A = this chain, B = another copy of it.
Amino acid sequence: MIKIAICGGSGYTGAELLRILSGHPEVEITAVTSEKSAGKRVTDLFPHLHKYSRLVYEPLDKEKILNKADVFFMALPHAASQEAVDYFFKKGKKVIDLSADFRLSDAAVYEEWYKTPHNYADTLKIAVYGLPELYREKIKHSSLIANPGCYPTSAILGLYPAIKEGIIDIDNIIIDSKSGTSGAGRKADTAFSYCEVNEGFKAYGIAVHRHTPEIEQELSGIAGEKITVNFTPHLVPMDRGIISTMYGRIREKSLKKAETAEIISVYKKYYDAEPFVNVLDEGVYPNAKNVRGSNFVEIGLKVNKRTNTLIVVSAIDNLVKGASGQAVQNMNIMTGIKETTSLESLAVFP
């Protein structure tokens, strides 16, 4: 049995790790930390996790926790994660960091967008961006995974084949994303109270959201040249799910073969062997509801011939493929466990 520690286990991603791992036959949870909730049982905070009725939050005492586990899931807030990640990694542990601290390979970019210094630029260089569909081989041999952000996961998987194949222009990509409210985390904040969110819909962080450089880094990597995108997140009155609607101009030279069916077949080729990515047939579009509670991704495609634009829509569950599910997928890959273990549950619909 692989021993697992979850550092920062009192939020939604921590709870979701516990939920997903509760069905995993090859792991056991040996520690879960929380500063605020130290001494409380997991079930005091999350009654639905009743299988963990004896698991108690402890403070994150690095020395004390070090020998308790083989794999460390780090679900700490951004910035707070850096030091602990570095510590466990350097002590030879496998670390999967769900914060943003090791996602941006350029520390200067991190500092610009997160307004905080990065003190582990060397470790940063070693971290592997944990998107298995792009980096499976690297993940296999890595001990430090920067688990992708939720919006970036939906955007990158949606645009990957179109950019890689040169189907769309890279200089005018628009990513209009919509997220359920769990993306904001579990916290006391009037802005995310029921009566403020319910029956409302709004854009936020226009042009300044921190997932922008992460998306740009990965899309640029795919394209082999620098991509700058318009990324607009919106808040949807639902618990889980991200839908990203993406627009890219069909490249002049691709126009002739730019039929919806054609592009769908390109995408299917890219994702055929992927256990968690479903490219939908023509005329069918993703629905956040079809993936909720699951690690699956839906991708739908349409060419607008009147405007020579490719519209890609992707759907994920932000807490699963957008966070904890992908983290478990990375753990499976890193530890040689079958990649889909404990991740095959279908969506809970309705």
Interface residues of A (CB under 8 A from B): 12, 15, 19, 22-23, 46-51, 172, 174, 176, 178, 180-182, 186-190, 192-204, 206-207, 228-230, 232, 234, 236-241, 243, 245, 247, 249, 278, 280, 284-294, 296, 298, 300, 302-307, 309, 311, 313, 315, 344-350
Q: Find the B residue at minimum CB distance from A344.
A: B23
- Contact status A22-B304, CB under 8 Å: no
Which 7 residue pairs are nearest across A and B when measured between Cβ atoms?
A: A200-B289, A195-B350, A207-B304, A48-B347, A293-B348, A194-B197, A202-B287
Taking a contact as CB atoms closer than 8 A, the residue among B188, B230, B278, B287 that contacts A193 in the complex is B188
- Contact status A288-B200, CB under 8 Å: yes
- Contact status A238-B311, CB under 8 Å: no
- Contact status A19-B346, CB under 8 Å: yes
CA distance A10 to B200 in the complex (A): 20
Taking a contact as CB atoms closer than 8 A, the residue among B207, B241, B291, B309 that contacts A311 in the complex is B207
Chain B CB within 10 Å — which of A193, A237, A303, A313 has the most?
A: A193
- Contact status A232-B311, CB under 8 Å: yes
- Contact status B240-A201, CB under 8 Å: no
- Contact status B307-A199, CB under 8 Å: no
- Contact status A237-B234, CB under 8 Å: no
- Contact status B47-A206, CB under 8 Å: no
11 additional A-B residue pairs with CB within 8 Å, beyond A182-B350, A201-B289: A23-B344, A172-B307, A176-B176, A186-B193, A202-B287, A203-B285, A206-B302, A228-B306, A230-B307, A239-B350, A293-B348
CA distance A12 to B228 in the complex (A): 42
